[in-house]
Amino acid sequence: MVTQADCSIAFKKETTYGTAVTVERFLEFTSETLDLDRAYHQGENMRPGTRVARSQKRILTREGAAGDITQEVQTKGFGALFELALGVASAWTEVEADSGVYQGVFTLVKDDFLPSATIQKGVPRLPTATTPGGVDAFTFAGCQVSSIEFEMSSEGVLTMTTSWIGGRAVDTSTPYVPSAGKYPQGCELFSFVDASLVLGGTITMPTATALATGGTVAGNVREASISIDQALDDNGRNLGGRGERSRPGAVGLAEITGSLTVEYDTTLITEAVLEQKGLALVLTFQGPSDIGDSGLRPVVQIVVPEIKLEGDLPKSNGGDVITHSSDFVGLDPLVPGQEPIYLVYRSADLVL
């Protein structure tokens, strides 16, 4: 029995770029746009007696895939995705002996290349009068995360969008891997209710077993977003490669950007914009329930040791509460031993 809601997406990290592996980790998602990333050339030579481009002169010149996956971030099952998105993962470590709570810290890769994955999406097909319905598999090898974005809105939940580029032709011959029994169990979401934001002050960076601490808690932020663009190059399609990439995308100068929407009850943001003050930013999202009897909750924490704000000045709002939005960029303060961004994930998952 198949319905139109029975869409699935699964992935597995590859050992060798572009060599497909059997997917085994399944993702719940809200939307996806994984599709072909092809280019064609239509011949332009002229000849008497024809006014329409000729079919024999149309050829494929580029092969690959691209698209986005949007998800509500869950308290289990996201560590492997975070490694693919940033590139470097610390050891998956139990934070306290026998607590059943594990933590990983993810940072930007410093050399080529980002890891790659095979992705398979299952698309349900409607039945007809003569054929039964089913699920068709589309398999994308050589996929890398080109960017990742987190968003939290007032009264909402933490969402994440990963943008992918795939360097291989889409495969429709690999059998569909059924998803039954393969999703993480007991997952919850990270909500606005259990979120906090630190802006400014002195921060103690996270470690393998500890979250970042310190700084000045901001209680006037309604919405926040942050994204990391790895600036992957679009080359690597070389002679003999049949239009596919012969290597992974090389990393460029990464961009850390985001925005904050705040109620105007302090001049901190305005002064930071006008004077271009560097501020530390820590976004912490807790799950609603403790992990076992540990007294510790699942956590997603994003730490940027220095941002600079590029926002607007506050404006009147017709008598309603004044808010203003401020874009920001994350910068590298060049402090020895300190990363320009940390993504911390604390979960009951036994493995990354």
Query: What is the band of 32 on the pLDDT scale with cuts at 50, 70, 90?
Result: very high
Query: What is the band of 311 on the pLDDT scale with cuts at 50, 70, 90?
Result: confident
CA atoms of 196 and 296, how far apart (whole Å)? 16
Q: How far, CA to CA in Å, does 330 sit from each of 76, 204, 307?
A: 27, 17, 4
The model's pLDDT over 230-274, given as tens digits with 9 standing for 90+, comes to 999 999 999 999 999 999 999 999 999 999 999 999 888 889 889
The model's pLDDT over 142-189, given as tens digits with 9 standing for 90+, comes to 999 999 999 999 899 999 999 999 999 999 999 999 988 899 999 999
- The CA-based angle 42-46-49, given to 5 degrees, is 115
Q: Around Cβ 334, how many Cβ atoms within 10 Å? A: 8
The model's pLDDT over 111-134, given as tens digits with 9 standing for 90+, comes to 999 999 999 999 999 999 999 999
The model's pLDDT over 265-308, given as tens digits with 9 standing for 90+, comes to 988 888 988 999 999 999 999 999 999 999 999 999 999 999 99
State residue 324's pLDDT score: 86
CA atoms of 272 and 337, how far apart (whole Å)? 26
Coil, helix or strand at residue 238: coil
The pLDDT mean for the chain works out to: 96
Q: How far, CA to CA in Å, does 310 sit from each of 58, 153, 200, 228, 302?
A: 47, 20, 15, 17, 20
The model's pLDDT over 320-352, given as tens digits with 9 standing for 90+, comes to 999 988 999 999 999 999 999 999 999 999 999
What's the predicted TM-score (pTM) here? Answer: 0.96
CA atoms of 130 and 58, how far apart (whole Å)? 35
Closest by CA to 339, choosing from 106, 183, 176, 120, is 106
Q: Which residues contact 216 (CB under 8 A, 6 or more apart)?
A: 198, 199, 200, 201
Amino acid residing at 189: L
